[in-house]
A and B are shown apart, each in its own frame.
Chain A
Amino acid sequence: MRDLSYFRASSVDAARQAAALPGAMLLAGGTTLIDLAKCGVAEPETLVDIAHLKGLDSIEVDERGATIGALARMSHVADHADIKSRFPAVSEALWQAASAQIRNMATIGGNLMQRTRCPYFRDPANFPACNKREPGSGCSAIGGVTRGHAVLGTSEACIAMYPGDLAVALVAFDAIVHLGERQIPVDDFFLLPGTTPDREHAIEPGEMITAIEIPGSAAARRSTYLKIRDRQSYEFAAASAAVGIEFEPDGRTIRDLCVALGGVATKPWRARTVEDALKGKALEPETVRSASLLAVEGAVDHGANHYKIELAPRVVARAILKLGETA
């Protein structure tokens, strides 16, 4: 039996120190790590438990934005009155993620560290080849069952989809990940697979997510998260969009627009080309639909996931138009 040690960190600094050691992993809600350990993907030598640490679960919202502690639970953030009013897309993304049980356990910091649902990644016994697990071993997904795989941001080494919802909204609204002192835009926190799909996050050994900061904006305040999926609950996105919009005083000319996609890319996918194409334009269904097609520029399918290329722009367009209806 593989032994592992369990270390209950007494402070953030102690946690960071312990987590810097080889084979150590931070444990918060455990909904991802324990799951991955059970399927033989995660093999921690030391679990550094941070779930009990004080002061990391606060949710503070004011005019400038929101600061969410890394240990805040998904369900608490989703239900927070100021998050709901100032960042509806964030709340909606959380409500539509996972299951009630998982949302009650999982933390915001842990959520950002969620890993792909690629079935080949999750089954080492049957599929030894996986560049994300074992760099250089190959990719079992390419040529296999790809219905749930990415069409954007893929590489020859990896086509695994980023499965989460929250980070899609965070990327749309330029959130910042606090790694203690160091701060990094959330879009840069998630890495493209390239030739190193094993490296998914711009986080260094000994670093720990302490908070997420989301700048307040008019677009964030008028925002939504639209998630399309095969079943209506407890299911990952076939395609999703986090969209925020700000109109000129005329109520129909788009002053600011934030768009990010989920369920289609190897990381939460900001669609700046769509934003740029629509800023300054009047919100017209045809204009929106045609600009939304830019969201999948450069997309590459692997057969069974081709539908995502059709679906994603429609999801983006619907989300934008829905926000227009409430103008």
Chain B
Amino acid sequence: MTVHIASTVHVGRHGDASDGAFAEAVGGRLSRVDGPAKITGAAKYAVEQQLEGLAYAVLVESTIASGKVRAIDTKAAEAAPGVLQVLTPDTIISLRTAADWFGTPPPDKPYCPLARDITFSGQHVAAVVAETFEQAVAAAALVKVSYDETPAIVDLSDVKAGDGIPIDAMTKEWGDAQGAFASAPVRICAAYNTPREYQAPIEPHGLIARWEGDKLTVWEPSQWLDGMARTYAEWFGVPFENVRLVSPYIGGGFGSKALALSHGAVAACAARMLGRPVRLVMTRPQTFTGYGGRAATRQTVTIGADAQGKIQSIVHRGINETSMDGMWVEPLGSVISIMYATPNFSSRQNVVRVNSVVPGAMRAPGENPSAFGIESAIDELAYEVGIDPLEIRLRNYAEQDPHAKKAWSTRQLREAFAAGAERFGWARRSPEPRSIRDGNQLIGWGVAAGTYPVRRAYGEAIVRILADGSVEVESSSIDMGQGTYTILAQTAAETVGVRADDVVVKLGDSRFPRAGVTGGSRLAGVMTGAVYKAATSALDQLIGLAISDPRSPFYALQANTLVVANGRIASPRGDGPDVSIAELLKSVGRDHIEATGDTMPANSTPEDRYKNYTTIAMSVPHTEGDYSRHSWCAHFIEVRVDEDFGTVRVSRVVSALDSGRLYNPKLAESQWKGGIIMGIGQALLEEGIVDRRHGRVVNNNLADYLVPTNADIPDIEVISVGIPDPHSSVLGGKGVGELAIVGVAPAIANAVFHATGKRIRDLPITLEKLI
């Protein structure tokens, strides 16, 4: 259990879309309530739990990319000091296959988290459990695995990779795209590639598993407690209620911590077999293969346009890599199908199997590479027809969703372009490439748009008003740094009428009221809604008691309603008593008031609830009903490219973003800036480099897999242009977390073209591509 007491600072009204007058109300700039605990080290992360009898597990991984395990010699490891057990496919207990995240009934076959059939380098083949971590590490090095190796398909460039599997569900077509392209006066066609990228959260994946009889407790960083608890329950054939997931803090997820993975199964098996709690933490290199990063992608974008740059046709073909035995589709048609108006459109996608771990979700999966394609291509079109890259985007502005043919719920993209351009000074841009210079530095300005759909799901929360007048919020949702603790405190404070420092928010325990996955930028909209409803209900109970209980000081007042503010209750007109919540509860003889709130449809069954919170099958399409719902953004970026060295440095970023109403602008701005920083890394630095002889990513550590340092990041200015969107969430917000990374890489590539006259279509834009 984690407790945060908000300490508040009152600030004046902020000049953006937020409507909060004070920091502690919804829309206020309350600082992160979990910040002090993290800064001082008081925050205890999942694997830091001190448990009696803890044993330590270390994984042994395959060193080949394809083939079979011939034999595992565990003798030396078993004889090593402190070793408690050596797990192999032959000795580990058998599990049942769990349903996938859609809840699809799994095949009735056993599941073994240690592999006999090797489909990628770095696959878990054995594990050693010992009394100490050091003993386990040393013994793991003594496990000798021999293989029968077969040729691997190492990446998308492999001649054996082929064209892949068509994913018909990804096909989006209207009009006659090929015909219109053929007859268009202006035509461009180019291929855009993005490499494997990795979430690289600073907290590596790991867990502690402890069994008590048939009850399992797992302390594990998680973006989805209920989904992971279900998976553990299904693996071990125990009731869902028997599994408790605890995840009070998460040191970054970026999509990588939403699922229970095979290393978790290994640790839970070891704990069950030993009858002791077991801790397993991946090494940094293991995190590059223990779960999937962003799949490598390839896209071809062809645009037919008239001489004024008005788009007539877009033909798009995409492929992404997946693993040999898993299916990951990175939806490459997601942005290209909605960003611009076009009468004719075709997008299709294939998925190619390679010998890698199954790729996974990474900040804006699909939208991110999709935007790199279309936002680079439309920039190429702008130069082809000789008009400003911003103007061509406005000329092709989509007034409605071109694919769903529905009205946008809200689309402040035009406003984003205007606000960003003004602040950046875009009107002063010299149109010619290589036309701005400062000594050896070529300077370029680029623009690109981004978008992310409003993914809606359901959540529930309990709000308790306690005897001392404080308020407690509980939910099994999580805070991985985005600010859930803080915005839920603000929501409860404003709704009940107390100060935010009188609200305690408890998250990260699957015993609390349930929540779906924290992914797809949906949590804030879902959970503020659930807390708002629960708090409203608790407030109604409180006022109801105050009016109707004969022991209440308000009983004689015969009022219809009362006002609660700053923790005190009074009549709206100010006549009659004025008492604190604590005093009222004492007078009516109650030690607390409790209400549950959820955003589920009325009449939902317990089965609906279970399915909703433990699978993603019930998330609501963003085009449900009359509207198409998305967040939007526009990035304006300046780069300086050294003409001799080819080094690209981002020197200025102005981004204007529409995430609807902001529950806390300070936190939203931080998330936007984080997304932009991650986008700078994607554009310039990040790439999993595969040794093609071994099918292995060799830069599998944070010294060689480069993410940006502070020195790489200029001041970033973000501008909120959103307005409340009642179609997107209860309180009017749209998604924040993933939006801002979308469009950063193409804005940088476009700026690099403007600076140098060189169009880089393969990320990252490293110096050898420019010298």
Contacts and interface: CB of A to CB of B under 8 A. Distances in A.
A, B assembled together: yes
B712 A120 contact: no
B607 interface: no
B691 A144 contact: yes
Contacts of B685: 230-231
B97 interface: no
B566 interface: no
B712 A144 contact: no
Chain B binding surface, main DSSP class: loop
Nearest to A99: B709
Nearest to B121: A126
B706 interface: yes
Contacts of A310: 771
B281 to A, nearest CB: 14
Contact of A230 (B82, B696, B706, B771): B706
Interface in A276-327: 306-307, 310-311, 314-315, 317-318
Contacts of A144: 691, 693-694, 698
Given A126-B696, A318-B440, A228 B647 contact: yes
Q: What bracket does the count of chain A residues touching chain B fall in?
A: 20 to 34
Contacts of A307: 646, 767-768, 771
A123 interface: yes
A267 B101 CA distance: 52
A147 interface: yes
B60 to A, nearest CB: 9
A233 B139 contact: no
B169 to A, nearest CB: 36
A122 to B, nearest CB: 8
Contact of A228 (B138, B645, B711): B645
The 10 closest A-B pairs by CB, nearest first: A307-B768, A233-B711, A232-B711, A1-B138, A314-B644, A233-B709, A119-B698, A1-B135, A144-B691, A228-B645
Contacts of A126: 63, 121, 694, 696
Contacts of B135: 1
Q: For the complex, would chain A's binding face be called helix, strand, loop or mixed by DSSP majority?
A: loop
A235 B81 CA distance: 39
B608 interface: no
Contacts of B703: 117, 234
Nearest to B132: A1
A19 to B, nearest CB: 24
B706 A231 contact: yes
B704 A120 contact: no
B757 interface: no
Contacts of A249: none
Interface in A106-129: 117, 119-120, 123, 125-127
B689 interface: yes
A59 interface: no
B691 A238 contact: no
B508 to A, nearest CB: 30
A23 interface: no
Given A125-B63, A126-B696, A307-B767, A1 B710 contact: no
B708 interface: yes
Interface string B711-730: 11000000000000000000
B767 A311 contact: yes
Interface residues of B, number: 41
B80 interface: yes
Contacts of B771: 307, 310-311, 314
Interface string A198-239: 000000000000000000000000000000111111110010
B141 interface: yes
A2 interface: yes
Interface of B: 63, 80-82, 121, 132, 134-135, 138-139, 141, 285, 440, 642, 644-647, 649, 684-685, 689-691, 693-694, 696, 698-699, 703-704, 706, 708-712, 766-768, 771
Residue of A231, A235, A311 with highest tally of chain B CB at under 10 A: A231
Contacts of B699: 119, 145
A10 to B, nearest CB: 28
A119 B704 contact: yes
Given A1-B134, A126-B121, A230-B767, 14 more contacts: A1-B80, A1-B81, A40-B141, A126-B63, A143-B693, A144-B691, A144-B698, A145-B689, A145-B690, A145-B691, A145-B698, A147-B689, A147-B768, A311-B768
Given A1-B81, A230-B685, A232-B711, A315 B645 contact: yes
Contacts of B709: 231-235
A318 B644 contact: yes
Tell me which of B80, B646, B708, B768 has the highest count of chain A C-beta atoms within 10 A of its own C-beta.
B768
A125 B141 contact: yes
6 contacts: A117-B704, A126-B121, A144-B698, A231-B711, A311-B771, A314-B644
A120 B704 CA distance: 12
Contacts of A231: 684-685, 706, 708-709, 711-712
B698 A1 contact: no
Contacts of A318: 440, 644-645
A230 B691 contact: no
Contacts of A120: 698
A31 B709 CA distance: 20
A318 B771 CA distance: 15
Interface in A87-146: 117, 119-120, 123, 125-127, 143-145
